[in-house]
Structure 1
Amino acid sequence: MSGTKALILGGETGLLGMSLAATFEDAGWEVITTPRPSDDAWNPAALGELLDRHAPDVVFNTWAYTQVDLAEDESDQARRVNAVLPEILGRLASDRSFKLVHYSTDFVFGGKAETPRKEEEKPTPECVYGRTKFEGERALLALDLPDLLIIRTAWLFGPGKKNFVRTMLDLCRRNNCVSVVHDQVGSPTYTPDLAKYSLDLIRADAKGLYHVANAGRASWCELASEALRSAGVSCEVTAIASSEYPQKAKRPGFSVLDTEKFTETTGVTPRSWVQAVRDYVYRETTQED
């Protein structure tokens, strides 16, 4: 699909959106980006006019309310962005010929698990953020769109915007030690890799629900430790339990994503999160120098 047109909602300023824009431009696509959603995003006529004006082949929805703890107090706003807006977009897609790619999250899962989460596993979100993102998924799937792709991903880090890895590096350059949660385990995901894997799914004409993340699993403590090793930053990382770092929203204890379906569809095996962290840290430190 070289030379086709992509509209990336959130591509101007979003962590994932910016990586999508760079990746698809490098692949020869014409790319149109938008900033965060304005009030017009909830106006079907205005949003429809945007879609008709650009006539994209693929629309990527990276718009999301991602402030996990604040969502507990702003549940209406979280639902408005994470559930209502995707449904509006889906209804507009039903009358048009573009492919819709929507991004969701590992936070749709809760409870206990010991093996990576598969697409067919029933979500049991335990916080407002997770519940509203799952509601957005359900709203889109209920529309039975002929060309819908939902990508669940997790623990994003990458260039261009604040993220967990960047925060750990900054903290440890100012302090001799840092305490990081060890009993939450997930799938760290590098946004340039996720963007490339999104392109792989488009090229494979994938439809439905897919889990996409870098390979392997890590706790937040392990992710921080690897980032600091990669950067050569001397800092003591102390592992603590979630109970020692109270947060308003409950996080999944184990939300590692199974990416086997992605590999079966594309023939691509995601690279490990460790390799991705090293690549990211190298690029960040090179730019600083």
Structure 2
Amino acid sequence: MNKILVTGSNGQVGSELRELASAYPYDFFFTDRDSLDITNEQSIRDFIDIHNIDVIINCAAYTAVDKAESQQESADAVNNKAVGFLAQTSKDKNIKLIHISTDYVFDGKNYKPYTENDITSPSSIYGESKLNGEIIMKEINPKNSIIIRTSWVYSYFGNNFVKSMLKLGREKDELGVIFDQVGTPTYARDLAKTILEILPKIETSEVEIYNYSNEGVLSWYDFAKEIMKMTKLDCKINPIESKDYPTPVKRPHYSLLNKSKIKQKFNIEIPFWKDSLDACLKVLGERR
């Protein structure tokens, strides 16, 4: 039986992995920043030795995109340096490492879905720290290890766009939501399931990158409209431009990910975004 360390287990993907754990023949160790400091290499090595870990799923990340602009060191410590520690430990101890990355490694100026080989060009400190984590992992190159880039993650757990829309949809008669940022949401449970399904099939001499989100294409405006429709909330959604909702960090205008590589390599099917939203709203008890 594989002994799997899941870091960042209180986050959206980590929490979904915990929910799914009992259906898989693995021995899981779920950790957060209090039970395992991944910014300390010795702590990682000690934990792995004590528990005989042979797989790491790294869901830990500094994800406060706007705050990262003023907290560069904190973002770098978790998104870059800690990934290096995990990668080096994995290499030294022959451990399989699955690391979660982001569409923010791109600048969002593409006109067709991003492939894993497209040129990266992050436009934020957060995106830069995540890209640096990818780079250091590829340089160290632990065997049988992969990076999964994802986008627009939501879940029953944690803070996310779906839960924000549900809250605001009850409080307000109308909302302005951005229509000029296009991509695809990712239901964290779908990603967690995929990770556990492909885990035994990962065999590679060099770190491979894969894209994963749900199928389809939409804007945040479309997403919000569908949330209101499925839950029958009486809140009008108005389309607005990014310039009308300024944030410290400019979000990618286009972050559609091409998933052909992961589908072909592991022979998986990826759910359509509306079906996954429907599933999540049912879990939240909000489907009407």
The normalised TM-score by structure 2 is 0.94
The offset of 1:51, in angstroms, is 1.1
Amino acid at match of 1:264: Q
1:256 alignment partner in structure 2: 256
Could you tell me whether the CA contact under 8 Å between 1:57 and 1:99 is conserved in 2? yes
1:131 alignment partner in structure 2: 128
Change (3 A) 1:272 1:26: same
State which of 87, 95, 99 in structure 1 corresponds to 2:96.
99
Amino acid at match of 2:264: E
Q: Could you report, residue by residue, the CA deviation over 1:79-136 in whole angstroms, capped at 9, with x for unpaired residues?
A: 1111011001111111112200100000111142121100010111101111110000
Identity %: 32
Taking the aligned partners of 1:109 and 1:68, their CA distance within structure 2 comes to 14
1:77 alignment partner in structure 2: 74
2:154 alignment partner in structure 1: 157
2:47 alignment partner in structure 1: 50
1:240 alignment partner in structure 2: 240
1:8 alignment partner in structure 2: 6
Could you tell me whether the CA contact under 8 Å between 1:106 and 1:152 is conserved in 2? yes
Amino acid at match of 1:256: L
Taking the aligned partners of 1:231 and 1:45, their CA distance within structure 2 comes to 48
Indicate the RMSD between aligned Cα atoms, in angstroms. 1.7
The offset of 1:41, in angstroms, is 2.6
The offset of 1:37, in angstroms, is 6.0
Taking the aligned partners of 2:96 and 2:6, their CA distance within structure 1 comes to 12
Could you tell me whether the CA contact under 8 Å between 2:108 and 2:255 is conserved in 1? no
2:143 alignment partner in structure 1: 146
Amino acid at match of 2:214: N
Comparing 20-29 with 261-270, greater Cα deviation is found at: 20-29
The offset of 1:286, in angstroms, is 5.8
State which of 84, 87, 90 in structure 1 corresponds to 2:87.
90
Q: Secondary structure at the match of 1:42?
A: coil
1:194 alignment partner in structure 2: 191
Could you tell me whether the CA contact under 8 Å between 2:96 and 2:142 is conserved in 1? no
Taking the aligned partners of 2:129 and 2:37, their CA distance within structure 1 comes to 21
Q: Could you report, residue by residue, the CA deviation over 1:229-270 in whole angstroms, capped at 9, with x for unpaired residues?
A: 111111100110000000001111101111000110121120
Taking the aligned partners of 1:151 and 1:181, their CA distance within structure 2 comes to 26
Comparing 131-140 with 265-274, greater Cα deviation is found at: 265-274
The offset of 1:186, in angstroms, is 1.3
The offset of 1:203, in angstroms, is 2.9
Taking the aligned partners of 1:271 and 1:277, their CA distance within structure 2 comes to 10
Taking the aligned partners of 2:118 and 2:63, their CA distance within structure 1 comes to 23
Comparing 277-286 with 79-88, greater Cα deviation is found at: 277-286
Which ranges of structure 1 fall in alignment gaps of 5 or more residues?
A: none
Q: Could you report, residue by residue, the CA deviation over 1:153-179 in whole angstroms, capped at 9, with x for unpaired residues?
A: 111111122211011011110111111
Amino acid at match of 2:274: V
1:182 alignment partner in structure 2: 179
Amino acid at match of 2:4: A
Q: Secondary structure at the match of 2:15?
A: helix
Amino acid at match of 2:271: R
Comparing 160-169 with 195-204, greater Cα deviation is found at: 195-204
Taking the aligned partners of 1:196 and 1:39, their CA distance within structure 2 comes to 24
Which ranges of structure 2 fall in alignment gaps of 5 or more residues?
A: none
Could you tell me whether the CA contact under 8 Å between 2:231 and 2:286 is conserved in 1? no
Taking the aligned partners of 1:95 and 1:78, their CA distance within structure 2 comes to 25
Taking the aligned partners of 1:224 and 1:162, their CA distance within structure 2 comes to 15
